[in-house]
Amino acid sequence: MDGSILFLAMPSINEAIRPTTDQALWILDIYGFAVGSLLITFGNLGDRFGRKRLLLIGATVFGIGSLCGALSPTPELLIVSRALMGLGGATLLPSCLAVISELFQNPAQRARAIGIFAATFAAGFVIGPIVGGVLLNHFWWGSVFLINIPVIVLFLCLAPVLLKEVHGSRPGKVDLLSVALSAVGLLVAIYGVKHAASYGIDGQSAVMIAAGAALFIAFLRRQKRLQLPLLDIGLFKEHVFAVAILTGLLSLFVWSAAAYLSMNYLQSVLGLSVFTAALLAIPGASILTLSCVLTPRLVERVGARKALLICHFSMGLGMLLLLFTDDATGAVFYVASTMVAGVGFGISFSLVADTAVGAVPESRAGSAGAIAETSNEIGNALGIALLGSLATVVFRASYDGEESGIGEVVDRHGTGSAAFEQAQSAFLAGFHSVAAVAAVICIGLGILTIRWLPKTSDTHDQVQSSSV
């Protein structure tokens, strides 16, 4: 709910505190980077030191970050607040999946439970734009962060009563060097990519990208040597697990960029109100929710391999539909795109988590859930960062002015200027470039699934047997 509202609220935030295009991208994706960098760490901490305690601490931190975000007077403080929310979010997701794994030992029941769990995320996508549209029509932009507070307060009241403390059988210390290598490597590399997109490729961006990549490679090598690694690389030797995690990573990679740019398209190019844009998002989000709930039944009927193929190719087709958007009638194609792609996104959100948790013993459920959620969160952040940067590069190449985004053009020249008309065309060029790349990624992932996963057996059963 918080993420979908933020996509909707960005034009209002741009108008109120006037972040640069680079700062606007950081506002959106610093949460994902913080969560993605720390999920594996907190998944291990929950396994070792107690999941209930971690859930309570994380919810408190998330609430504090939300309050700070609502009251942030500058882009810099909003970025810091979003990072604090990411710190809290990193404690919540893997522990939730681990609790579900313990409650439902039967694989079929667990698959349905995780499908419902994933559907709550999709329901948030439905609720978020509606609530956000109402709030943004009546209050200041910071109100969209305050909706988190009642949810957090309710959770902190109920969790101590309804949840019991649970520990995994994972003694030992968390390797802090691994935490630092993964987090710093990711952030440095992405910052280098963002710098290159905003200012062109120079020595600084090249050094930062190379340094980030080197740190992350060092992290992977270190995991092979540790007896209790943060990231169990051995799991990726199983093709089923690898394809599932790639699906989680790339589906969110595509979804986040498409959602962010689409909301800007609806409001900045088509000139729709915040509430109208929110209403247009409802059909696709509803399909996404339904797809999450029905995915376990789909897998039971056709197998995980065919379900993954439906996932990949429906996402690809949905992205191709965005290529038909223009400055007049594109809303129809936007709605069609979200409905077609929503089928695939729902399958991904439900199936990836179940595959990861089902592939390991219960004692490693938090860590496996963390890998699944890490793939989602890093994909979410990378999509906005990398595909958002691609849109910026194409915009700058197509637009003659100094501005690097359509929001900056609106702030400086208004919507009735010749500069704005050129900015609309430049934005569409970037939007279509991103849609084309996203479609290629999804279709390529479908082809990889055809090549890697066998036709004659159900991959879901394979995952279950691999954990025995």
441: CB partners within 8 A, 6+ apart: 250, 253, 254, 316
CB 175 within 8 A of CB 40: no
Alpha helix (H) ranges present in 200-273? 203-225, 239-264
pLDDT (0 to 100) of residue 16: 87
Read off the tokens for 436. Answer: 């084309």
147: CB partners within 8 A, 6+ apart: 1, 2, 5, 131, 135
Name the residue ranges covered by the structural domains of the chain: 2-174+230-466, 175-229
CB 131 within 8 A of CB 1: yes
Q: How far apart are CA 220 and CA 273, in angstroms?
A: 46
Positions of the chain with pLDDT under 70 = 36-37, 39-40, 43-44, 46-49, 94, 97-98, 126, 164-174, 194, 197-200, 356-370, 373-374, 377, 381, 456-468
Read off the tokens for 338. Answer: 């979200």
Comparing CA positions, the residue from 180, 176, 153, 179 lying closest to residue 67 is: 153
- Residue 193 sits at φ, ψ, to 5 deg, of -65, -45
The amino acid occupying position 454 is P
Read off the tokens for 455. Answer: 């036709």
Residue 62 burial class via C-beta count within 10 angstroms: exposed 0-12, middle 13-18, buried 19 and up: buried
Comparing CA positions, the residue from 453, 459, 390 lying closest to residue 427 is: 390
User: For residue 181, how far is the Cα from the chain centroid?
Assistant: 22
Quote the radius of gyration of the chain (alpha carbons, Å). Answer: 21
Total Cβ atoms within 10 A of residue 221: 11
- In CATH, 2-174+230-466 is 3.30.930.10: no
Comparing CA positions, the residue from 296, 49, 232, 277 lying closest to residue 57 is: 49
Q: How far apart are CA 230 and CA 375, in angstroms?
A: 14
Q: How far apart are CA 142 and CA 135, in angstroms?
A: 9
Comparing CA positions, the residue from 326, 178, 312, 179 lying closest to residue 265 is: 326
- Residue 192 sits at φ, ψ, to 5 deg, of -65, -40
- Secondary structure class of 457 (helix, strand, coil): coil
Q: How far apart are CA 184 and CA 187, in angstroms?
A: 5
Read off the tokens for 249. Answer: 């990573």
pLDDT (0 to 100) of residue 351: 80
Q: How far apart are CA 396 and CA 406, in angstroms?
A: 10
| Alpha-carbon separation of residue 12 from 85, 127, 305 (angstroms) | 20, 19, 42
DSSP 317-380: HHHHHGGG--SSSHHHHHHHHHHHHHHHHHHHHHHHHHHHHHTS-GGGHHHHHHHHHHHHHHHH
